[in-house]
Amino acid sequence: MAQNLQQKGRAYFCQILIPRPLRHHFPGETGKPRASIWESLGPDLTTAKPKCAERVAYWEGVFARLRAGESLDDIRAADEREQAEARERERVGRLWTDPNLAPDEVTAAMDTLRKRLAQLSARPAVVAVPFEIRPAPAVAPVATTSETVIQAAAALYGALERDKRRRTTVDGHRLRVRAFIEACGDIPLPAITRRVASDFLDRIGKSRSNRTRNAYSATMTLVIETARKRGRFEGSNPFDGMKARAEGKSYVPFEPAELQRLFAALPREVRPAEHSPETALPWVALIAAYTGMRLEEIAQLSATDVHEQQANGATITVFDIHNGGNNALKNKASARLVPVHSELVRAGLLDYVRALPQGLLFPGLTRRASKGGKIGARLGELFRKKLVALGLKRDGLNFHSFRHTVAGALERAGVAQTDAARVLGHAIAGMSYGVYSSGPGLKRLAGIVEEIHYDGLKE
The CATH number of 256-449, from 1.10.357.10, 3.90.1150.10, 1.10.443.10, 3.30.420.40, is 1.10.443.10
**DSSP letter assigned to residue 405:** H
- pLDDT computed for residue 128 by the predictor: 33
Angstrom distances, CA of residue 216 to CA of 156, 157, 208, 228: 15, 15, 11, 19
Geometric angle at alpha carbon 357, from 374 and 450, rounded to 5°: 70
Beta carbons of 182 and 63 less than 8 angstroms apart: no
Listed ranges 79-88, 104-113, 338-347, 448-457; the one with the highest mean pLDDT: 338-347
As a whole number, mean pLDDT of residues 38-56 equals 84
What pLDDT score does 389 carry?
94
* Average pLDDT of the chain to the nearest whole number: 80
pLDDT score of 401 more than 50: yes
Rounded to whole angstroms, the Cα distance separating 289 from 452 reads: 8
How far is the C-alpha of 373 from the C-alpha of 168, rounded, in Å?
6
Q: Is the pLDDT of residue 151 over 60?
A: yes
- 73-131 tens-digit pLDDT: 888 877 777 777 666 666 655 554 555 555 566 566 666 656 665 555 444 333 333 33
CA-to-CA separations, 334 to 169, 216, 312, 372, 439, in angstroms, rounded: 15, 25, 24, 19, 20
Assess whether pLDDT exceeds 90 at residue 429: no
- Report which listed range, 230-244, 315-329, 439-453, is most confident: 230-244
Looking at the predicted structure, is the pLDDT value of residue 342 above 50?
yes
pLDDT at residue number 115: 64
Per-residue pLDDT averaged across 129-153, rounded?
Answer: 54
Cβ-contact 63, 57 below 8 angstroms: no
Q: Which of the four pLDDT bands, split at 50, 70 and 90, describes residue 160?
A: confident
pLDDT at 132: 35
Residue 209 and residue 207: Cα distance in Å, rounded? Answer: 7
**pLDDT higher than threshold 70 for residue 13:** yes
456 pLDDT above the threshold of 80: no
Residue type, 232: R
- The pLDDT of residue 335 is 84
Cα separation, 8 vs 43, whole angstroms: 10
Q: CB within 8 A of 118, min separation 6: which ones?
A: 127
Residues 180, 19: contact at Cβ < 8 Å?
no
Q: Give the Cα separation of 59 and 56 in Å (integer).
A: 5
> Is the whole-model pTM more than 0.85?
no
How far apart (Å, rounded) are the C-alpha atoms in residues 380 and 375? 10
Contact 95, 106 (CB under 8 A): yes
As a whole number of angstroms, the distance between CA 211 and CA 362 comes to 31
pLDDT in tens, 407-417: 999 998 898 88
Number of residues written out for the chain = 459
Greatest mean pLDDT among 129-133, 253-257, 426-430 lies in: 253-257
CA 155 – CA 6 distance, rounded (Å): 27
Q: Which residue has the higher pLDDT, 292 or 130?
A: 292
Say what the alpha-carbon torsion angle 27, 29, 34, 38 is, to the nearest 10 degrees: -120
Q: What is the pLDDT of residue 138?
A: 40
Contact status, residue 168 vs residue 126, Cβ threshold 8 Å: no
Among 21-25, 144-148, 273-277, 343-347, the range scoring the smallest mean pLDDT is 144-148
186-230 residue pLDDT tens: 889 988 998 899 999 988 888 777 888 888 999 999 999 999 888
Q: What percent of the chain has pLDDT over 90?
A: 31
Confidence of residue 333 (pLDDT cuts 50, 70, 90): low
State mean pLDDT over 303-317: 86
Residue range 272-285: mean pLDDT, rounded:
95
Distance CA 329, CA 184 (A): 32
What pLDDT is attached to residue 90?
Answer: 61
